[in-house]
Structure 1
Amino acid sequence: MNNPFDLDDTASYQDWRRHKLSIAPKSTEDLIVEVNDPRALTPNEHAALTERIRSCNMAIYAGKMHDADTDIPRLLGEQFGLRHLDANWLAGEDGISEIRVFDNGTRQHYIPYTDRPIKWHTDGYYNPPERTIRGMILHCVRNASSGGENQLMDHELAYLLLRDEDPQHIQALMQPDAMTIPERVDDTDGVRAAQSGPVFSLDSSGNLHMRYTARTRSIEWKQDAATLAAVAALEAILASSPPHVFKARLEPGMGLLCNNILHDRSAFADDPTHPPRLLYRARYLDRISTIS
């Protein structure tokens, strides 16, 4: 069977590469679909979002609902086969997390719940394999007074650029011990065992998955020349702002629907005279279904 992600199948890779680049979006505007109610998409709205997911693993919906209601991302996700939420211990009772600044409690110790910037990553990179995050929704209820912009990149295009530079980079980052998140022991979340795994892997259907963080703390890269060269090359690609990186600042009612693509977040500031920035984050063990 042809497999574009097999390093020995150059012909399939070149065919996939040509097609991937031919359908890749050119701007952030190409990602956006205007919708009326994300909880109940029209056939045309669903088809437009599906088309973007197929081309670049992401879409941005611009809805008209500004309610603080976690049913918005939950019911949107169900329309794309997203049903198995990763109900991590910091999420709400319904498995969806409030991404906002917490000034006290456990969450204040984790960067997503602060106003600080977050480096390039895919979500759940510290999870064990049975809790691999494949799909994600970020829904904006309120934005910040300033900042809070995301950079977005299809992980398949990151793979493409890295493989074009040197296929050995891909081989190194597919090693099962390429990236390790060390054991964590503290008073708030107890013990989290060390978790090793590849950066690039394939699921049972042959879809490419990426597990990555640009953090330099609480991460250990395999200490061989090939892995370190591959990591440096990936960092250089992301730092070079390639044309496949899109910048987006979600406004109230907007959201990101994606197959756990690469993304970051700039620092932000809330206006003390207005309600603070609030996003809902739903992380799924499912990949988005693009079967119409």
Structure 2
Amino acid sequence: MTHPGFNPFSLDSDADYLQWRARKLEDYPARMEDLVVHIDDPRQLTQAEHDAILALCRKTNMAIYASQVGNVADKEIARQCGIKFGLKRLDHNMLADDDGITSLAVHASGEHQHYIPYTDRPIKWHTDGYYNPPERQIWGMQLHCVCSAATGGENGLMDPEIAYIQLRDANPDYIRALMEADAMVIPARMDEDGVARPDEGGPVFSLHPVSGDLHMRYTARTRSIRWKKDPVLEAAVAFLEQLLNSDSPYIFHGRLEPGMGLICNNVLHDRSAFSDDGECHRLLYRARYYDRIEGTELAAVYPG
């Protein structure tokens, strides 16, 4: 039983943390297959389908659906599915389509070709929108696969709350350093007109100002990023990098096939390199939100 001031992410609340940790790790999924919910159409979820997806998100901050709408190029699949989980406020990022949902595919020319998500190259571990200012923090994210690559394009997935547990168990000072307001700075991006985006500094771990839910802002990139010069922070970042490149049972690996999708509270993820051919041209829709999945708040998952 929790209490009204329940705060497992406070370093001054070991009792709350240990209670939350025990419940979090109890019966935690062991395989990628354990995250999959088989459904008919993401645009028209049954109550049972919705509840099964929500139950996984409440446990792991993510779920994968496998639907019957493979090879259907309709962005309403992602939008309508998101709405059913309270994901409504789309982030219209720079290279998103006009409707705010991004079509992820290889671009051989134009501005997109300069950004890794629009190439066939691997993408390192990250959470989405790590370069966004606090008022545009990405809390929820969806991927929907229209067509998979001929080869490659697998994802690694890890719940940020699990990463938090691993770090805090190793050394609580790691969490303290990663919550510093100037822990990680994304330098300004310059374009032909000057500064397109200013320096964006912030913590790796932070809490929702109302619900107290955990947010993680991270990228394993080594270019275009500045870490605060602090020995404890440097050790924390090294520990996290080692964790994400380990064979941890809490890291799930798999590939979204046509009709499959990921809905999550902006979990850690990466992507392997891939190859298209004449038959297969990888296309995924990505939606980023300023909302968390409704019903996954601390107060809902761990009621008093």
TM-score category (smaller protein): over 0.9
CA distance in 2 between partners of 1:187 and 1:70 (Å): 32
CA distance in 2 between partners of 1:247 and 1:187 (Å): 39
Contact residue 142 and residue 278 of structure 1 kept, 8 A: yes
CA distance in 1 between partners of 2:107 and 2:244 (Å): 29
Partner of 1:230: 236
TM-score by length of 1: 0.98
Deviation at 1:290, TM superposition (A): 2.0
Aligned residue pairs, count = 291
* Aligned residue among 245, 265, 277 for 2:282: 277
Distance 1:274 1:126, change over 3 A: same
Deviations 1:230-269 (A, max 9, x none): 1111111111121000011000000000000000000000
Contact residue 23 and residue 55 of structure 1 kept, 8 A: no
Deviations 1:45-88 (A, max 9, x none): 00000000000000000010121000000000000001000011
Matched, 1:62 2:66: yes
Deviation at 1:135, TM superposition (A): 0.3
Within a 5 Å distance, the mapping from 1:141-180 to structure 2 comes to 141-180=146-185
Partner of 1:197: 202
- The gaps in structure 1 that reach 5 residues or longer are none
CA distance in 2 between partners of 1:151 and 1:236 (Å): 14
CA distance in 1 between partners of 2:119 and 2:282 (Å): 10
Deviation at 1:229, TM superposition (A): 1.1
CA distance in 1 between partners of 2:216 and 2:247 (Å): 19
After the TM superposition, list the runs of 4 or more consecutive aligned residues in structure 1 that deviate by more than 4 angstroms: none
Partner of 2:18: 14
Deviation at 1:181, TM superposition (A): 0.1
Contact residue 49 and residue 59 of structure 1 kept, 8 A: yes
Partner of 1:209: 215
- The gaps in structure 2 that reach 5 residues or longer are none
Q: Which amino acid aligns with 2:179?
A: M
* Aligned residue among 110, 113, 117 for 1:108: 113
Deviations 1:202-224 (A, max 9, x none): 00201000000000000000001
Aligned-pair identity in percent equals 59
CA distance in 2 between partners of 1:50 and 1:194 (Å): 36
CA distance in 1 between partners of 2:51 and 2:260 (Å): 17
Q: Which amino acid aligns with 1:282?
A: A
Deviation at 1:188, TM superposition (A): 8.0
Matched, 1:252 2:258: yes
Q: Which amino acid aligns with 1:231?
A: V
TM-score by length of 2: 0.94
CA distance in 2 between partners of 1:237 and 1:122 (Å): 15
* SS of the residue 1:23 aligns to: coil
CA RMSD of aligned residues (A): 1.3
